Amino acid sequence: MDGEQVGQQALRLHIPDTERGPGAEPPEVRFISAAGEMRRPELDEPVERIALMRKQMVRVLDDDGAATGPWDPQLTADQLRTGLRDMMLVRAFDARLLQAHRQGKISFYMQCLGEEAIACAHKRALHPADMHFPTYRQQGLLIAGGYPIVQMMNQVLSNEADPLKGRQLPIMYSSKEYGFFTISGNLATQYVQGVGWAMASALSGDTRIASAWIGEGATAESDFHAALLFASTYRAPVILNIVNNQWAISTPEDFARGASATFADRGFGYSIPALRVDGNDYLAVYAATRWAAARARGNLGPTLVEWVTLRRGAHSTSDDPSVYRPAGEASHFPLGDPIANLQRHLVTLGQWDDDRHAALSNELDAEVAAAFAEADAHGSVKSGHTADPRTMFDDVYAELPRHLREQRDQVGR
């Protein structure tokens, strides 16, 4: 055929037209493997061969709650119960702080309902000294890492005991000691910084690796692509996590994915081995993290992981998802709920039952209530019990320059 002539056919722009709103069908989740189906590649397997598995998914727990296949991390019953406890604590913590928002005690909150397994299992599968570069939906990293939840609550309340002195929006935690990089409100910036931290660790002959986090929506930012290129070029010891919870505020995942099949596909363009993993399967998360970490620790370079999950709640307390979300999306979601999935597994093993579950649930509610009472006793931004306003001039620079000293003297004058 001859070359097309200009003007023969009118061009048309494709705008993704995913159905939205309460009347829409819940979107399909594509390319779900059965538990145990996907092969576990060698750590140094050529990226081209791993790419052949790009439409598969790492899953360990089957519908009956049994663990199966080459990815089973063989955790002990105690480790499984710890995982369940971590996730339930995150959920109870979120529930209490959402309530605090409704009570008018805090200005803002973001929960991770339905996504608890990802941060909790990932944190437990890495070394406590490894450094995470999180987004605002990885409170599980702190909680599974044993960070005091009272401190998290003090931050969220912006009260006089807030370790960040009221400077940051609630949930924008920071703790170097617990391997948790200070959260930025600006999406994607941390991703490339995580790669840089990993490069530094390798440059210094250190043994610690980095784990960088991003939501699927934010992979559209240029920083994401810069991160992949640098990680690939310098074979940085970093795990590049994409949490695909299907939604970026009101925007479905296909706007960020473009025409590619999956988010894991992004890795292959940069020659980075990439896995798709059931993010609601604690065992799959644990196993995939261990695989990626072993690659990083063995100087085999970065791994990209797409964790497939569902944001069950609103984006934040400022959001009204009823406008854009299909009704019944959570019940339609094929990967279930991470807590229920692990609970079923423990019951199947004969290591758990309903009574123990209820008792644990009560115990965690009490733990959270006690922590909240302690934090609440330090006041909140709403009650005016905050750090001294003059502390806002601290830490702008290492030393207070003259102009800030003068401005500080004017505060409250």
Partner 1 sequence: MTMIEAIRDAHAVAMERDERVVVFGEDVGYFGGVFRCTQGLQQRFGSHRCFDSPISEAGIVGTAIGMAAYGLRPCVEIQFADYVYPAYDQIVSEAARLRHRSAGDFTAPLTIRMPTGGGIFGGQTHSQSPEALFTHVAGLKTVVVSNPYDAKGLLLAAIEDDDPVIFLEPKRVYNGPFDGHHDRPIVPWSKHPLSEVPEGHYTIPLGEARIHRPGGDLTVLAYGTLVHVAQTAAEETGIDAEIIDLRTLLPLDVDTIVESVVKTGRCLVVHEATLTSGFGAELSATVQERAFHHLEAPIVRVCGWDTPYPHAHEWSYFPGPARVGQAMLEVMGR
Ligand X SMILES: Cc1ncc(C[n+]2csc(CCOP(=O)(O)OP(=O)(O)O)c2C)c(N)n1
* Positions that interact with ligand X (CB under 6 A): 137, 185-187, 215-218, 245, 247-249, 311, 315
Binding window for partner 1 (CB under 8 A); candidates: 43-51, 144-152, 202-210, 399-407:
399-407
247 binds, among ligand X, partner 1, none (CB under 5 to 8 A by kind): ligand X
Query: Rounded to whole angstroms, how far apart are CA atoms 227 and 195?
Result: 6
Is 265 a binding residue for partner 1 by CB under 8 A? The answer is no
Whether 66 and 345 have beta carbons less than 8 Å apart is answered as yes
| Closest residue to bound ligand X by CB | 215
Is 99 a binding residue for partner 1 by CB under 8 A? The answer is no
Q: Pick from 185, 259, 350, 398 the residue near partner 1 by CB under 8 A.
A: 185
Residue bearing tokens 């807590």: 339
Q: Pick from 72, 86, 162, 278 the residue near partner 1 by CB under 8 A.
A: 162
Binding window for partner 1 (CB under 8 A); candidates: 214-222, 236-244, 300-308, 366-374:
214-222
Query: Rounded to whole angstroms, how far apart are CA atoms 293 and 369?
Result: 36
245 binds, among ligand X, partner 1, none (CB under 5 to 8 A by kind): ligand X
Q: What Å distances lie between residue 14 and 4, 11, 17, CA to CA?
A: 20, 10, 9
Q: What Å distances lie between residue 357 and 65, 88, 347, 363, CA to CA?
A: 16, 10, 10, 10
The DSSP 8-state label assigned to residue 129 in this structure reads T
Binding window for partner 1 (CB under 8 A); candidates: 42-50, 74-82, 121-129, 168-176:
168-176
Query: Rounded to whole angstroms, how far apart are CA atoms 356 and 379?
Result: 35
Residue 190, classed as helix, strand or coil, is helix
Q: Is the dihedral of CA 261, 266, 270, 273 positive or negative?
A: negative
Tell the burial category of 413 from Cβ atoms under 10 Å away from its Cβ (0-12, 13-18, 19+). exposed
Residues in 371-390 at the binding interface with partner 1, rule: CB under 8 A: 381, 386-387, 389
Q: Pick from 186, 233, 260, 362 the residue near partner 1 by CB under 8 A.
A: 186
> What's the closest the beta carbon of residue 52 comes to ligand X, in angstroms?
27
Query: Rounded to whole angstroms, how far apart are CA atoms 252 and 234?
Result: 33
Is 166 a binding residue for partner 1 by CB under 8 A? The answer is yes
Tell the burial category of 356 from Cβ atoms under 10 Å away from its Cβ (0-12, 13-18, 19+). middle
Is 226 a binding residue for partner 1 by CB under 8 A? The answer is no
138 binds, among partner 1, ligand X, none (CB under 5 to 8 A by kind): none
Residues interacting with partner 1, by CB under 8 A?
A: 13, 15-17, 20-21, 107-108, 158, 162, 165-170, 172, 184-188, 217-218, 220-223, 248-251, 255-256, 258, 318-319, 323-324, 381, 386-387, 389, 392-393, 396, 403-404, 407, 411-412
